[in-house]
Amino acid sequence: MVSALALVAAASLLGGVLRDERSAGAAPSLTFEAKRLEAGFTSGTTTSLVRDLQERLRTNPNSARAWALLGLGYQQLARESGDASFYPKSQGALHRALALEPHDLTATVALGSLALSQHRFRDALALGNSARSISPTTARVYGVVGDALVELGRYPAAFSAFRTMVQLKPSTASYARYSYARELVGDRDGAVRWMRLARDAATDQRESYAWTSVQLGKLYWNAGRTKAAAREYRAALAVVPDYVYAFDALARVEAASGRYARAIALEQRAVDTIPLPQFVAQLGDLQRAVGNVRAARDQYATIGAIDRLLRANGVGTDLESAAFAADHGRASVALARRAHAARPSVDGDDVLAWALARAGRCQDALPWSRRALRLGTRDSLKFFHRAWIERCVGHEALSRAWARGAVALNPHFSLQWGAQARRLAR
């Protein structure tokens, strides 16, 4: 499924490496660019837009609107580059905006998006609710509220927020969120239908079209439809030729087909462009799969350095770190509990269950694994974790059933755990 362990997938719906979509010589107005920034992307290069806003503020430092847009611009630069040092800059600009206009909607929503990006979900919910009190009919407000509620495990309220968002403004952002809601409850056909609507709404926007194509491909991938997934990933690259999220996703397809050299080359391109932890971890797993143990260790060590940089810039990484540690033999129950306290979602439940199991506390892990699947989510990795835990507590038949479920959903769900899932399924 679309993982909540990725860096704020919901909050960064349209993030990534952007390309200039303007006609030659065109110079869109600040109003035009502002609308795109508020939607989560820009039509031109973000760097030039940020410079323009900085210049405007040098001559007019009392423009709340310009400060708010500058804050959004810094967030977009963070998404494009993977450089979390833009987050504190965004926060400073947005607080300047609110000091000038305490009820500025753009700045309030942007602070909510920033809190999501930094994994401060309770703060994000408070800011989203503040934005809703300012403008209860603005759709993007409900995106912040719903995203935060999902990560806090408050699913009925989250899904209600997404429905309201769709009703107020049918768009790529609202359709994609509703697709994720359907995926969480195990409705894969519904998730595909809503993601197709999201892509249809993005036909004139290359970046968002590429993003939705990758998300649609992931839905196919998670259902074991490898060829359909590859088709969508290549569709993304056809419109944005160096789209890193497509490189990462296509690398998994190549690995599933046994073409490890091509998989490593694709993942390396993603890492070289934006060294996101999930890209680096996948590259390490690919290197380990072909026997390059030293290269794998180097990648895993890099994740530690990236994690320190993220934390230094206000990004909470406990859940991702706990999952990585449990997968790679250094399970920390204390870290997983801390992560779960901040993020009591089905992903938080699953990571806590897995950390407990990998630490040898399988009886304690079982209730959390059950909670992780309480929505009816059809996720091979969660199914495998349940199978592993059931085997650990001596429930052989249940373990076999869950493992068979994992393999039936997607036999290529994990480079690291796929073979063990197949053994458990026998």
pLDDT tens profile 171-197:
999 999 999 999 999 999 999 999 999
pLDDT at residue 163 is higher than 60: yes
pLDDT digits (tens, 9 = 90+) for 203-240: 888 889 999 999 999 999 999 999 999 999 999 999 99
Determine the average pLDDT of the residues in 334-346.
97
- Separation CA 75–CA 37 (nearest Å): 9
Determine the average pLDDT of the residues in 303-311.
94
Residue 190 phi, psi dihedral angles, 5° rounding: -65, -40
Determine the average pLDDT of the residues in 81-104.
96
Determine the average pLDDT of the residues in 139-146.
97
Angle between helices 318-327 and 277-289 in degrees, nearest 10: 10
Look-up of token digits 């206000």? 314
Q: Mean pLDDT score of the chain, rounded to an integer?
A: 91
pLDDT at residue 369 is higher than 90: yes
Q: Which of 16-30, 55-69, 203-217 is predicted with the least confidence, judged by mean pLDDT? A: 16-30
- pLDDT value, residue 1: 57
- pLDDT value, residue 30: 60
The SS3 of residue 61 is: coil
The SS3 of residue 21 is: coil
- pLDDT value, residue 301: 95
Of the pLDDT bands very low, low, confident and very high (cuts 50, 70, 90), residue 48 is confident
For 277, other C-beta atoms within 10 Å of its C-beta total: 21
Apex 80 CA angle, 194 and 72, nearest 5: 80
For 337, other C-beta atoms within 10 Å of its C-beta total: 16
| Tokens representing residue 148 in the block | 């935060």
Using left for φ > 0, alpha for ψ between -120 and 50, and beta otherwise, residue 376 falls in: left
- pLDDT value, residue 2: 45
Question: Percentage of the chain surpassing pLDDT 90?
Answer: 86
- Separation CA 82–CA 282 (nearest Å): 16
pLDDT digits (tens, 9 = 90+) for 271-298: 999 999 999 999 999 999 999 999 999 9
- pLDDT value, residue 32: 60
| pTM of the model as a whole | 0.91
pLDDT at residue 36 is higher than 90: no
Q: Nearest Cα to 345, choosing from 151, 157, 158? A: 151
One-letter amino acid identity for 35? Answer: K
- pLDDT value, residue 381: 98
Q: Cβ neighbours of residue 112 under 8 Å, at least 6 residues apart?
A: 124, 127, 128, 130, 131, 144, 145, 148
pLDDT at residue 37 is higher than 80: no
The SS3 of residue 2 is: coil
Of the pLDDT bands very low, low, confident and very high (cuts 50, 70, 90), residue 41 is low
pLDDT at residue 15 is higher than 50: no
Higher pLDDT, 81 or 291: 291
- Separation CA 209–CA 24 (nearest Å): 21
Look-up of token digits 């405007």? 56
The SS3 of residue 103 is: coil
- pLDDT value, residue 40: 58
Angle between helices 260-273 and 277-289 in degrees, nearest 10: 160
- pLDDT value, residue 134: 98
- Separation CA 352–CA 341 (nearest Å): 10
pLDDT at residue 7 is higher than 80: no
Buried b vs exposed e over 176-200: b needs ≥16 C-beta within 10 Å?
bbbbbbbbbeebbeebbebbebbbe
Of the pLDDT bands very low, low, confident and very high (cuts 50, 70, 90), residue 27 is very low
Domains of the chain and any CATH numbers: 1-130 (1.25.40.10), 242-316 (1.25.40.10), 333-424 (1.25.40.10)
pLDDT at residue 20 is higher than 60: no
